[in-house]
């Protein structure tokens, strides 16, 4: 069977209103027999995009007493903070070393500032960073749309500065990924409501940038789908790559820089997959199996047997999808759940809390 695996696992081998080029004109169909009208757009200058983003993407080398690995990272600020994947650098936490290679060939040691296994994100910091760093611009991933053109930039297979292009293939794709176990080395489940892309990403791209046609980082590349042994065990790009959305990256990175840890939103429910009947027929959904007493879900009126089909306007097709979407919010935010109960649809608002306030 196929699976989703992390790219380059160590030792295991938002600013403007849209992405892409603006529409310039619509060609009108002269009569009913003519083809549908087509949008005409300016071509994306990928050379200019590459030139703009490459100085902001670094290669990361990890050395431990047990081996080493490579990955990618994104310069987050002028202080030398680098955003990358937890699975790229977590092996260096105890007795390893980190080295950051800039695009121009300069090399710097680095230390871990904070790890967040739950989102597979981490922040490291260069030692004595130079004053001419080029921090990336983190774009607003909430405006990303399926079909938007994107570029992946990173260090696949040790080939630093590699760029590949494609499109956004899907949004809110529920992904569990690390070294193939679905958990980090600390045993924390890794669940992401990911941006799916067909831009080629391979082992070593982990922690690198997924950027839009303006060069804004809309995601951090973190995982690829691979074919199982029945398909030859292919582990390179098969056109299914996954990135952690930029808004989530920004929220987690800021917390890691400020405190070394990150909080995650919870509502206090236990979930399972289900197919629920509603006004429009049967729907795949996340079933509420249990509600923790005193949790936000209980206060909002959720109860066992409810089936959630959407969080705000984001479709929910199962327990993993709902977990990933809820985790992308911040504690204190209020979300609107579309719930099927006894064949009828209703909207229930829930204010999320931090995981350390509500563990279920």
Tokens read off for 161: 């500065």
The residues, any chain, with a CB within 8 Å of residue 141's CB and separated by 6 or more, are 14, 195, 218, 219, 245, 246, 247, 248
Residues of each domain in the chain carrying CATH 2.40.10.10: 3-8+137-259, 52-126
321 phi and psi angles, rounded to 5 deg: -60, -45
User: In b/e form, how buried is each residue of 129-162, taking b as 16+ CB within 10 angstroms?
Assistant: beeebebbbbbbbeebeeebbbbbbbbbeeebbb
pLDDT digit string, tens, across residues 176-204: 864 443 444 555 567 889 999 999 999 99
Q: What is the rounded average pLDDT of the residues 255-266?
A: 94
- State the pLDDT at residue 34: 53
**Is residue 315 predicted with pLDDT exceeding 70?**
yes
Angle at CA of residue 118, ends 112 and 122, nearest 5°: 20
- State the pLDDT at residue 36: 56
CA pair distance 308, 346, nearest whole angstrom: 10
CA distance readout (Å), 109 to 61, 93, 204:
10, 14, 19
238/139: higher pLDDT? 139
- State the pLDDT at residue 94: 86
**Is residue 16 predicted with pLDDT exceeding 60?**
no
- State the pLDDT at residue 19: 37
Flag the least confident range among 36-40, 263-267, 318-322, 325-329.
Answer: 36-40
Phi-psi region of 297 (alpha: psi -120 to 50; beta: other; left: phi over 0): alpha
| Radius of gyration, alpha carbons of the chain | 21
Reported as a pLDDT band with limits 50, 70 and 90, residue 218 is very high
Query: Quick one: which of 246, 196, 253 has its CA closest to 217?
Result: 246
CA pair distance 254, 260, nearest whole angstrom: 9
- State the pLDDT at residue 156: 93
The Cβ-side half-sphere exposure at 195, using a 13 Å CA radius, reads 34
CA pair distance 285, 308, nearest whole angstrom: 6
Find residue 346's DSSP bridge partners. Answer: 339
The residues, any chain, with a CB within 8 Å of residue 66's CB and separated by 6 or more, are 11, 91
3-state secondary structure 82-144: EEECHHHHCCHHHHCEEEEECCCCCEEEEEEEEEECCCCEEEEEECCCCCCCCCCCECCHHHC
CA pair distance 208, 211, nearest whole angstrom: 10
- State the pLDDT at residue 359: 39
258/192: higher pLDDT? 258
**Is residue 232 predicted with pLDDT exceeding 70?**
no
**Is residue 354 predicted with pLDDT exceeding 60?**
yes
CA pair distance 197, 324, nearest whole angstrom: 18
264 is an active site residue? no
Flag the least confident range among 136-150, 207-221, 227-241.
Answer: 227-241
Reported as a pLDDT band with limits 50, 70 and 90, residue 279 is confident
Reported as a pLDDT band with limits 50, 70 and 90, residue 25 is very low
DSSP string for residues in 310-341? EETTEE--SHHHHHHHHHTS-TT-EEEEEEEE
pLDDT digit string, tens, across residues 81-102: 999 999 999 999 988 999 999 9
Residues of each domain in the chain carrying CATH 2.30.42.10: 265-354
- State the pLDDT at residue 20: 39
Given 120, 148, 198, 306, the catalytic residue: 120
- State the pLDDT at residue 357: 45
- State the pLDDT at residue 123: 98
Flag the least confident range among 64-73, 182-191, 349-358.
Answer: 182-191
pLDDT digit string, tens, across residues 96-121: 999 999 999 999 999 999 999 999 99
Q: pLDDT above 90 covers what percent of the chain?
A: 71
Across all residues in the chain, what is the average pLDDT? 85
Given 59, 87, 160, 198, the catalytic residue: 87
Write the CATH number of the domain with boundaries 265-354: 2.30.42.10
Write the CATH number of the domain with boundaries 3-8+137-259: 2.40.10.10
Would you identify the CATH topology of the domain 52-126? Answer: Thrombin, subunit H (2.40.10)
81 is an active site residue? no
Reported as a pLDDT band with limits 50, 70 and 90, residue 239 is confident
Given 72, 178, 206, 328, the catalytic residue: 206
Instruction: Residue count of the chain, please give it.
Output: 360
**Is residue 27 predicted with pLDDT exceeding 70?**
no
- State the pLDDT at residue 230: 44
Q: What is the rounded average pLDDT of the residues 209-220?
A: 96
206 is an active site residue? yes
């Amino acid at each position: 069977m196929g699976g989703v695996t992390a790219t380059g696992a160590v030792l295991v081998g938002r600013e403007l209103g849209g992405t892409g080029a603006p529409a310039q004109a619509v060609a009108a169909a002269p009569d009913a027999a003519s083809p549908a009208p087509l949008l005409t757009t300016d071509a994306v200058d990928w050379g200019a995009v590459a030139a703009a983003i490459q100085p902001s993407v670094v290669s990361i080398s990890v050395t431990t007493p047990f081996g080493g690995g490579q990955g990618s990272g994104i310069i987050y600020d002028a202080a030398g903070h680098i955003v990358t994947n937890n699975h790229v650098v977590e092996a260096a936490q105890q007795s390893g070393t980190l080295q950051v290679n800039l695009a121009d060939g300069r090399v710097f040691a680095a230390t871990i500032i904070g790890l967040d296994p739950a989102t597979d994100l981490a922040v490291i910091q260069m030692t004595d960073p130079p004053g001419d760093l080029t921090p990336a611009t983190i774009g607003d991933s909430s405006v990303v749309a399926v079909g938007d053109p994107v570029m992946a930039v990173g260090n696949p297979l040790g080939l630093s500065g590699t760029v590949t292009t494609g499109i956004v293939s899907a949004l809110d794709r529920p992904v569990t990924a690390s070294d193939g176990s679905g958990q980090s080395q600390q045993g924390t489940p890794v669940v992401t409501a990911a941006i799916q892309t067909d831009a080629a990403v391979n082992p070593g791209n982990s922690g690198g940038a997924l950027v839009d046609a303006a060069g804004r980082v809309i995601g951090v590349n973190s995982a690829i789908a691979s074919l199982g042994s029945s398909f030859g065990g292919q582990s390179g790009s098969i056109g299914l790559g996954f990135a952690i959305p930029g808004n989530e990256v920004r929220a987690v990175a800021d917390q890691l820089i400020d405190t070394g840890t990150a909080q995650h939103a919870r509502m206090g429910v236990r979930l399972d997959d289900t197919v629920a009947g509603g006004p429009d027929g049967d729907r795949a959904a996340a079933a509420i199996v249990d509600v923790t007493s005193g949790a936000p879900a209980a206060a909002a009126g959720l109860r066992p047997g409810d089936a959630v089909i959407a969080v705000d306007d984001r479709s929910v097709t199962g327990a993993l999808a709902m977990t990933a979407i809820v985790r992308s919010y911040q504690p204190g935010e209020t979300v609107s759940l579309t719930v099927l109960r006894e064949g009828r649809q209703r909207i229930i608002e829930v204010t999320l809390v931090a995981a350390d306030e509500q563990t279920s």
